[in-house]
C-alpha cells in the first residue's frame, strides 16, 4: 500500500506491506490498522515545526481487481461490474460487455448504503472514512487506457479476424504490419530523453510496457498510422488519442473536459460498428467515465498508477532472496531513510547548464556569454547536439529549434531558429495546434534569443 502527497512530492512512500500466496482472507483485518490511523490523522491533522496541517483523502488509485476487492463489489467481468454506473452488462462471445454509455450514475451515498444489492458483496471497512466510494475511487488510465483499450486496439489490428459479421475494421496484412514496424523504427532517433522507452516493433507488442502504449497513443500513433489504416479506422483512433490527450494535460483538462467526454463517448459508440459488439468490454466502457474523474480530481496525470508502479519496481529490487521478503524490504527502507536524511539535495527547481563549448552560433550582443550544449531543468532537458532534444515551444512564438544555450548576467538564454513552415499535424477531431502539436519543415537562418523562462515545453 502506497501513498503520495501531491503538494510535497511526486514520489510515493510505503504505508503498508503484505506478502502472501493470495489475497488476504479478511479484508477487515487487512485494512484495520490503515483505517484507524488514517481516521486519526484526518481528525487531528499533522504538525511539523510550528505549522499544523489538515489532511484530506484525494482518491484511491487501483486497478480494477484491486478496486473490487477493497470495495467488496462485483468484479469487472460481472453483470453489474461497472463501479460508476448501474447498467447491466451483456454477455457476448465469452465476454462481458457494457454497450450503454448513458446509464444512470452511482452516487457516493448509494454505494455507501449498498442500495444496489446486485453490485455489492458486502460492506467495506473504507466506508468509515470520509471519502466517496464512487467518486473517490478513480479509473486509472495506465491500466484502463494504456494496458486496456490501446492494447486491445493493437491486438485487433494484428490478430483480429479478417472480417467479422458487420464490423468494418479487420486485421492488417503482414506487409502492412511490417510497414508499421519500419515507421516506428525510424522514429527512435526522434524520441526525446524524457521518454523512458523508444518505439519497438509490432512483433514485440506482447512485451510492450504501459509507457510504450502511452507513447503510441499520445504521440507516435497519429504519425505512423496515417496511410496505414483506412480513413474511418484512423479517424476513430484519433478520437481516443485526442480525448486522452486533452484529459491528461493540466493545461487543457478543465476547459476541454466536456469536449473530451464527447469524443470518448463517440469512440465507444463507433467501436461497436467497427470492431463488433464484443469489443465494448469493461475497459472500453470505462472511457465514458474518465472525464467525470478529471472534473473531480484534476488531469489524468495526477491520479495515474505510473508513479506507484515505479515505486513497486524499486521495492521488488530490495528483495535479494526468496525467504523473508518483508523483513528484507523493511530493513532496506530503514537504511535508506537513515542515509538520505544526512544528505542535502539540490533543489528540483534548479536549472543546470552542462557541456560548455565555444562553437556558437552567438547573436550580436551576447558574445561575452558562456555557451553550453545541454540544459537540465525540473521538467525539461535541452541538448542542442541531439536532434531529438533540441525542439522546444517558445511562448508567443511557437515551435523552434534550439541551436545554442547561453548563460550571462545570471540568466539562461536559448538561441533558436524558427521553422519555415508550421502546419497542423491533423485537423480532426480537433486542430492539433490547439494542443501545441505541429508539423514543421525547414529551418530559417535568422537567430533569435529568448529567456529559458519563455520555453513552455
Per-residue pLDDT reduced to its tens digit, 35-58 = 999 999 999 998 877 889 899 999
Contact 150, 216 (CB under 8 A): yes
Q: Which of the 8 DSSP states describes residue 54?
A: -
94: cell is: 465469452
At residue 165, the pLDDT reads: 58
Q: How far is CA 29 from CA 24, 25, 35, 179, 311, in A?
A: 8, 8, 10, 54, 25
Query: How many residues does the structure list for the chain?
Result: 457
137-139 and 60-62 strand pairing: parallel
* DSSP β-bridge partners for residue 375: 353, 382
Q: Other CB atoms closer than 10 Å to residue 156's CB: what's the count?
A: 22
Question: What are the percentages of helix, strand and coil residues in the chain, rounded to 5?
Answer: 40, 20, 40
At residue 340, the pLDDT reads: 67
Does the pLDDT at position 318 exceed 60? yes
Contact 80, 96 (CB under 8 A): no
Does the pLDDT at position 33 exceed 60? yes
Q: Other CB atoms closer than 10 Å to residue 306's CB: what's the count?
A: 17
Q: How far is CA 121 from CA 80, 112, 305, in A?
A: 11, 13, 26
Domain ranges of the chain: 63-304, 352-454
Q: Residue 410's pLDDT band (boundaries 50, 70, 90)?
A: confident
Say if residue 291 is exposed, middle or buried (CB neighbours under 10 Å; 0-12, 13-18, 19+): buried
> Read out DSSP for 60-72?
EEE-HHHHHHHHT
* Cβ-based neighbours of 100, under 8 Å, separated by 6 or more: 85, 87
Q: Other CB atoms closer than 10 Å to residue 244's CB: what's the count?
A: 25
Q: Residue 167's pLDDT band (boundaries 50, 70, 90)?
A: low
Per-residue pLDDT reduced to its tens digit, 359-370 = 889 999 898 999
Q: Which of the 8 DSSP states describes residue 291?
A: H
Does the pLDDT at position 405 exceed 90? yes
Q: Residue 81's pLDDT band (boundaries 50, 70, 90)?
A: very high
Percent with pLDDT over 70 in the chain? 97
At residue 345, the pLDDT reads: 47
Does the pLDDT at position 347 exceed 90? no
pLDDT-wise least confident of 82-86, 204-208, 261-265, 359-363: 359-363
* Cβ-based neighbours of 361, under 8 Å, separated by 6 or more: 403, 404, 415, 447
Listed residue (238, 345, 341, 252) closest to 300, CA to CA: 252
Average the pLDDT over 9-18 and give the result.
Answer: 89
Average the pLDDT over 77-90 and give the result.
Answer: 96
List alpha helices for 276-323, DSSP H.
Answer: 282-286, 290-297, 306-317
pLDDT-wise least confident of 19-33, 227-241, 347-361: 347-361
**CA–CA gap between residue 433 and residue 427 (Å, rounded):** 9
At residue 336, the pLDDT reads: 86
At residue 346, the pLDDT reads: 45
Average the pLDDT over 57-65 and give the result.
Answer: 95
Does the pLDDT at position 243 exceed 90? yes
Does the pLDDT at position 313 exceed 50? yes
Q: Residue 294's pLDDT band (boundaries 50, 70, 90)?
A: very high
At residue 7, the pLDDT reads: 80
Q: Which of the 8 DSSP states describes residue 120?
A: B
Average the pLDDT over 57-86 and give the result.
Answer: 96
Does the pLDDT at position 312 exceed 70? yes
**CA–CA gap between residue 364 and residue 448 (Å, rounded):** 10
Q: Which of the 8 DSSP states describes residue 188?
A: G
pLDDT-wise least confident of 88-102, 116-130, 331-345, 436-450: 331-345
Amino acid at each position: 500500500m502506497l501513498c503520495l502527497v501531491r503538494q510535497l512530492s511526486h514520489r510515493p512512500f510505503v504505508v503498508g506491506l503484505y506478502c502472501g500466496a493470495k489475497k488476504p482472507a479478511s479484508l477487515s483485518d487487512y485494512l484495520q490498522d490503515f483505517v484507524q490511523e488514517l481516521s486519526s490523522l484526518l481528525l487531528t491533522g499533522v504538525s511539523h515545526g510550528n505549522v499544523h496541517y489538515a489532511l484530506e483523502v484525494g482518491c484511491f488509485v487501483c486497478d480494477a481487481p484491486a478496486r473490487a476487492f477493497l470495495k467488496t463489489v462485483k468484479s469487472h467481468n460481472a453483470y453489474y461490474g461497472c463501479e460508476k454506473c448501474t447498467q447491466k452488462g451483456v454477455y457476448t462471445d465469452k465476454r462481458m460487455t457494457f454497450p450503454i454509455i448513458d446509464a444512470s450514475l452511482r452516487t457516493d451515498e448509494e454505494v455507501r448504503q449498498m442500495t444496489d444489492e446486485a453490485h455489492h458483496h458486502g460492506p467495506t471497512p473504507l466506508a468509515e472514512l470520509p471519502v466517496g466510494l464512487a467518486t473517490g475511487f478513480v479509473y486509472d488510465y495506465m491500466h484502463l487506457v494504456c494496458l486496456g483499450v490501446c492494447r486491445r486496439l493493437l491486438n485487433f489490428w494484428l490478430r483480429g479476424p479478417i472480417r467479422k459479421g458487420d464490423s468494418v475494421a479487420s486485421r492488417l496484412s503482414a506487409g502492412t504490419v511490417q510497414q508499421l514496424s519500419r515507421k516506428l523504427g525510424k522514429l527512435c532517433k526522434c524520441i526525446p530523453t524524457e521518454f523512458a522507452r523508444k518505439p519497438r516493433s509490432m512483433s514485440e507488442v506482447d512485451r510492450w510496457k504501459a509507457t510504450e502504449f502511452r507513447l503510441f497513443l499520445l504521440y507516435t500513433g497519429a504519425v505512423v498510422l496515417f496511410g496505414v489504416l483506412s480513413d474511418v479506422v484512423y479517424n476513430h483512433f484519433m478520437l481516443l488519442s485526442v480525448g486522452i490527450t486533452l484529459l491528461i494535460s493540466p493545461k487543457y483538462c478543465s476547459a476541454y473536459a466536456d469536449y473530451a467526454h464527447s469524443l470518448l463517448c463517440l469512440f465507444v459508440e463507433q467501436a461497436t460498428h467497427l470492431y463488433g459488439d464484443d469489443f465494448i468490454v469493461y475497459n472500453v466502457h470505462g472511457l465514458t467515465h474518465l472525464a467525470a474523474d478529471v472534473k473531480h480530481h484534476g488531469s489524468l496525470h495526477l491520479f495515474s498508477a505510473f508513479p506507484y508502479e515505479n515505486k513497486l519496481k524499486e521495492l521488488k529490487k530490495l528483495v535479494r532472496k526468496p525467504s523473508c521478503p518483508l523483513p528484507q524490504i523493511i530493513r532496506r527502507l530503514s537504511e535508506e531513510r537513515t542515509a538520505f536524511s544526512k544528505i542535502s539535495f539540490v533543489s528540483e527547481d534548479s536549472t543546470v547548464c552542462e557541456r560548455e563549448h565555444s562553437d556558437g552560433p552567438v547573436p550580436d550582443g551576447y558574445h561575452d556569454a558562456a555557451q553550453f550544449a545541454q540544459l537540465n531543468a525540473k521538467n525539461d532537458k535541452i541538448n542542442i547536439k541531439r536532434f531529438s532534444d533540441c525542439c522546444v515551444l517558445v511562448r508567443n512564438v511557437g515551435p523552434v529549434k534550439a541551436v545554442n544555450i547561453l548563460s550571462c548576467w545570471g540568466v539562461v538564454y536559448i538561441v533558436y531558429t524558427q521553422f519555415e513552415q508550421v502546419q497542423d499535424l491533423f485537423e480532426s477531431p480537433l486542430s492539433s495546434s490547439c494542443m501545441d502539436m505541429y508539423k514543421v519543415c525547414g529551418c530559417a537562418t535568422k537567430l533569435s534569443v529568448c529567456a529559458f523562462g519563455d520555453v513552455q515545453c
